[in-house]
Amino acid sequence: MNIVLVGMQWGDEGKGKVIDILSKRADYIVRYQGGNNAGHTVVVGDKEYIFHLIPSGILHPGKICCIGNGVVIDPEVLKRELADLRKNNIDFSGRFKISTLAHVIMPYHKNLDQLREAKRKNKIGTTGRGIGPCYADKINRCGIRMIDLLNPGVFKDKLKDNLKEKNEIFKKVYGHPGFSFQKIYRQYLDYGKLFSKFVCDTAVLLNKACDDKSDILLEGAQGTFLDIDFGTYPFVTSSSATSGGACIGTGISPVKIDKVVGVCKAYTTRVGEGPFPTEFAEGFGNFMRDRGNEFGATTGRPRRCGWFDAVIARQSVMLNGITELAIMKMDVLDGLDKVKICIAYKYKGRVIKEFPHDFEVLSKAVPIYKEMAGWPNQDNNPSSFKQLHPNARAYLLELQKLLGANITMVSIGSARKSTIFI
């Protein structure tokens, strides 16, 4: 069974925990887009692991973990993440693979990301990790791929060509001194040597795995509304975070995907700029941020918080082909008098039920809420749907009805055991 897992909102839905759970039944776990803008948190016992690049499935002994061609790799971050695994005695020998075709984040990508943000009037609030500029070079056909780092001659030509153009842009547009060829050349050839044993044609590897009837879990990063096409453009990331990205980013054909699982929080959060119709007012927003510990796993920035938005979540179900839902951080809503679900928007007296594409409409849309009774703190540590407070159950059933997909997992805490399977 090949499963794609996607975020249904603006990222940080709790994908790391669900991946960790689904990894048990998978033979291969694969990242297919994004880069170290992602931060996937997994809690095992009293230890918390945060992964930015390596699939979180690496914690499960014997599983093969791949970074697919659709991912952009910052080699320094990868080096650090591998060192951390070694430090934690997680043996990954022979079971970690990197696609030859994955693009590499270069120092100039990171600088450009930050310089562009600083220059912009309408900031995106990127993570500053060089993600956008690296993908731009990929599409611009001047990117550098993992395989290039293994061939000094090829790498030299590509880097020279890049620096010739980029150094001029850096100087003239940004007043930045530019980059030295020798320094980057040597440093990145070293990365190449360090990673060479992991680099392979992961598309061939994964398609063989399909032929052998192995189970593959495709680990999405970011979320549907950060998708470059379907998200709240331009306040998005630069990759295809929807389920279609799993095929492009791995070389596994769409006919080999069996199921798409959608992950969403029981409420909504967003980091960075951009429209967010159900965002809480400041006071309640601060209260909920503290309750849910909503601070970014990658940049530490406070996350913006709001009520569950069924308009965007329904759109997610449609765009991704989601048939199963994992509802995360349900416990954060415990103890509230009332909970609200946005079922439509209102704009200039008009009721809007579909996600609007016009920026002004989306920015000024006023949510129409369905209000429901809250539920007390659930100290009984519920382990089944039946044990949840009736009002919590009613809330989940309402989400299920609005989204038209089945809830198969509800998370009520960060630990593996704080999960209800339905």
Per CB under 5 A, the list member of 8, 10, 12, 16 interacting with Mg ion is 12
DSSP letter assigned to residue 295: B
| Contact in structure between 341 and 399 (CB atoms under 8 Å) | yes
CB of 162 to Mg ion, least distance (A): 29
Q: Is 272 in the site for ligand IMO (CB under 6 A)?
A: yes
Per CB under 6 A, the list member of 57, 70, 75, 132 interacting with ligand IMO is 132
Number of other CB atoms surrounding residue 397 within 10 Å? 12
* Contacts (CB under 6 A) with ligand IMO, residues 18-47: 37-40
Q: How many residues bind Mg ion (CB under 5 A)?
A: 4
| Residue number with CB closer to ligand IMO (301 or 350) | 301
Per CB under 5 A, the list member of 14, 16, 34, 39 interacting with Mg ion is 39
x-or-dash string of contact with Mg ion, 296-335, rule CB under 5 A: -x--------------------------------------
Give the Cα separation of 97 and 131 in Å (integer): 21
**Cβ-Cβ contacts under 8 Å for 409 (sequence gap 6 or more):** 18, 21, 324, 325, 326, 327, 419, 420, 421, 422
CB of 298 to ligand IMO, least distance (A): 6
Which is the catalytic residue, given 40, 52, 103, 109?
A: 40
Give the Cα separation of 77 and 85 in Å (integer): 12
CA dihedral 220, 224, 226, 231 (to 10 degrees): 150
Give the Cα separation of 283 and 280 in Å (integer): 8
Could you tell me the CA-to-CA distances from 166 to 115, 119, 120, 133, 177 in Å, in that order?
13, 17, 19, 11, 11
Q: Over the range 284-314, which residues count as b (16 or more CB within 10 Å of their CB) and which as e?
A: ebeebbebbebebbbeeeebbbbbbbbbbbb
x-or-dash string of contact with ligand IMO, 297-326, rule CB under 6 A: x-----------------------------
* Residue 40 is among the residues annotated as catalytic for this protein: yes
Closest CA to 332 of 374, 283, 271, 304: 374
CB of 89 to ligand IMO, least distance (A): 25
Q: Choosing among ligand IMO, Mg ion, none, which partner's interface includes residue 127 (Cβ < 5 to 8 Å by kind)?
A: ligand IMO
Give the tokens for residue 112: 């450009």
**Cβ-Cβ contacts under 8 Å for 41 (sequence gap 6 or more):** 16, 17, 48, 49, 50, 297, 414
Q: Choosing among ligand IMO, Mg ion, none, which partner's interface includes residue 245 (Cβ < 5 to 8 Å by kind)?
A: none
Return the range that interacts with Mg ion (CB under 5 A); candidates 6-14, 75-83, 164-172, 364-372. 6-14
Q: Choosing among Mg ion, ligand IMO, none, which partner's interface includes residue 124 (Cβ < 5 to 8 Å by kind)?
A: ligand IMO
| Residue number with CB closer to ligand IMO (260 or 271) | 271
Q: Is 72 in the site for ligand IMO (CB under 6 A)?
A: no
Q: Over the range 179-215, which residues count as b (16 or more CB within 10 Å of their CB) and which as e?
A: beeeebbeebbebbeebeebbbebbebbbebeeeeeb
| Contact in structure between 178 and 165 (CB atoms under 8 Å) | no
| Contact in structure between 218 and 228 (CB atoms under 8 Å) | no
* Contacts (CB under 6 A) with ligand IMO, residues 190-249: 221-223, 226, 235, 237-238
Which is the catalytic residue, given 12, 20, 74, 309?
A: 12
Per CB under 6 A, the list member of 12, 20, 74, 148 interacting with ligand IMO is 12
Give the Cα separation of 296 and 299 in Å (integer): 5
Return the range that interacts with Mg ion (CB under 5 A); candidates 96-104, 184-192, 293-301, 329-337. 293-301
CB of 140 to ligand IMO, least distance (A): 16
Give the Cα separation of 31 and 56 in Å (integer): 9
Per CB under 6 A, the list member of 102, 218, 271, 352 interacting with ligand IMO is 271
Return the range that interacts with ligand IMO (CB under 6 A); candidates 122-130, 176-184, 316-324, 398-406. 122-130
- Cα dihedral sign, 163-166-168-170: negative
Contacting positions for ligand IMO (CB under 6 A): 7, 10-12, 37-40, 124-127, 129, 131-132, 221-223, 226, 235, 237-238, 271-272, 297
Active site residues: 12, 40
Q: Which residues bind Mg ion (CB under 5 A)?
A: 11-12, 39, 297
